[in-house]
Chains A and B, each alone.
Chain A
């Protein structure tokens, strides 16, 4: 399995505060993704990156920004957290040779 980690694993925060989630991979994969998972929905793409400093929006990008300054790190920032952003967030990296995504363990975020 690709080495992909997320931090923090759990976070409780208050409405209006900024939050940054970190994803770190050790496989030198060019593509990385941030998803959120909510009951009744499949995984939904927030943002993805196709290289250092190259990012693009997904279907649920409003209220989120990302940055990728190094191949191994992909940061997701909630500029001003809202209760609707309470969710489980998954990061993934993609092996283009096998077209396989490797997922991090997830971050459970609660916005009060």
Chain B
């Protein structure tokens, strides 16, 4: 049983398309995180959310605490957005739980 589930596992889009990646979780959380992992392995944090919505450039992250669901949206997708996007949740127990990631490929 995974505490964090992501969908889809793999996603291919044409450049310029609007992209949505979904994350559901089953545990109590203090915050939800979206991470990006590029080919070659480096992992960077994109967003930390405890409620509502955040926007950074073409990326938008939303969370619905009642439904235990979050979405990551990418507007006007670009080939450089190709990466694995990972959803993670943190709790007051100082631990993080990670989804298995969504592999996104944006084709020019």
Q: Range of interface residues on chain B? A: 20 to 34
Interface of A is mostly: strand
Task: Name the one of A31, A42, A90, A103 contacting B94, with C-beta atoms under 8 angstroms.
Answer: A31
Q: Range of interface residues on chain A? A: 20 to 34
Pairwise interchain contact A106-B42, C-beta atoms closer than 8 A: yes
Identify which of B4, B44, B45 gathers the most chain A CB atoms within 10 Å of its CB.
Answer: B45
Pairwise interchain contact B42-A103, C-beta atoms closer than 8 A: yes
Closest residue of B by beta carbon distance from A102:
B45
Interface string of B66-101 (1 = CB under 8 A from A): 000000000000000000001010100011111111
Interface string of A92-104 (1 = CB under 8 A from B): 0000001111110
Pairwise interchain contact A42-B42, C-beta atoms closer than 8 A: no
Pairwise interchain contact B2-A42, C-beta atoms closer than 8 A: yes
Given A50-B94, A106-B41, A106-B42, A99–B101 Cβ distance below 8 Å? no
Pairwise interchain contact B44-A1, C-beta atoms closer than 8 A: yes
Pairwise interchain contact B95-A42, C-beta atoms closer than 8 A: no
**Chain B contacts to A: CB under 8 angstroms:** 2, 4, 30-31, 33, 41-45, 48, 86, 88, 90, 94-101
Q: What's the Cα separation between A85 and B96 when bound, in Å?
A: 21
Q: Kindly list chain A residues whose C-beta atoms are within 8 Å of the C-beta of B42.
A: 103, 105-106
Pairwise interchain contact A100-B33, C-beta atoms closer than 8 A: yes
Interface residues of A in 43-67 (CB under 8 A from B): 43-45, 48, 50, 58
Q: Kindly list chain B residues whose C-beta atoms are within 8 Å of the C-beta of A105.
A: 41-42
Task: Name the one of A40, A45, A102 contacting B96, with C-beta atoms under 8 angstroms.
Answer: A45
What is the minimal beta-carbon distance from B73 to any residue of chain A, in angstroms?
Answer: 20
